Structure 1
Amino acid sequence: MKQRAWFQATCPDPAFRNGQQAVKDAKAVCSISEWRDEDTLDTLAAAYAETGDFASATRYAAQALTIKDIPPLDAKRIQHHLTLFQQNRPIRL
């Protein structure tokens, strides 16, 4: 479900993007992980960015960065995403 949410939030082809479904899926996975997984929170942030809700995207990316013991490369990636969201830009792969 997390991979589907990421794909629907970030796919370069707009025909495959579905921000609302991505938010729904990402929230479900965040709930399962008890909101303690940085990768899942980053996926939710990307989903919100796809819907144009950059305030929520920024909030969840920032929350992801507070997770304890994030691998440095993951923190760098999430920080880059946070910067995009602060510029009101979604992620496109």
Structure 2
Amino acid sequence: ANPRDVETLAILGLTQMRRQAFAEAETALAAATTLAPKNPGLIRAHAAALIGARRFREAAVRLERAWPLHPEAWGLLNDLAWLRATCPDASVRNGQAAVTHAETLVADPARRTPSHLDTLAAAYAETGRFGPAVKAMDEAIAATPVSSPSREAYVQRRVRYQSQRPYHAE
């Protein structure tokens, strides 16, 4: 495959994502991943386009199949755990799988990033483990600069978990 073709398709797909033209983005990113099937960044982008197009089950399958092939691509595992914990489609959510994936993700202290802890908290909340969810969010918030745009979302999710309500994406 011509690397320029892959790059062109990836740029097109990401541009369409920014425009929220998810069906077009999915088409371009599917083609890019066909040409470069071992690129975890493209796989993540393709899954994100599928999610944007509300094709949640396909996104979950895409991530589930990709993760074993890229066991060091922690972003793939985070995306998979987040989708399994927070998917708007209840039939795609799987709290226990989300917990397993998220716990694997944060097992190494170097990977206990705020976004990974946010995913862990969402997974715990999805399984009704609200105490550990709040604790994970406290750790995420403490590690997030006050100026970060993510901080407010973390605080809002912490309030949900404190109120014993899981977070589900819209």
Same fold, judged at TM 0.5 (above): yes
Q: TM-score, normalised by structure 1?
A: 0.91
Matches within 5 A, 1:63-82: 63-67=139-143, 69=145, 71-82=147-158
Structure 2 vs 1, CA of residues 22 and 35 (structure 1 numbering), >3 Å: closer, same or farther? same
- Structure with bigger gyration radius: 2
Residue 53 of structure 1 aligns with which residue?
129
Deviation at 1:72, TM superposition (A): 2.1
Matched letter for residue 36 of structure 1: R
Deviation at 1:33, TM superposition (A): 5.3
RMSD of aligned C-alpha atoms?
A: 1.6
Deviation at 1:12, TM superposition (A): 1.4
Q: Distance in 2 between matches of 1:71 and 1:42?
A: 17
Structure 1, unaligned runs of 5 or more: none
1:41 is the counterpart of 2:41: no
The one of 104, 108, 111 equivalent to 1:28 is: 104
Structure 2 vs 1, CA of residues 44 and 71 (structure 1 numbering), >3 Å: closer, same or farther? farther
Please identify runs of 4+ aligned residues in structure 1 that moved more than 6 A: none
Q: Matched residues, percent identical? A: 35
For the Cα contact (< 8 Å) 2:114–2:144, is it kept in 1? no
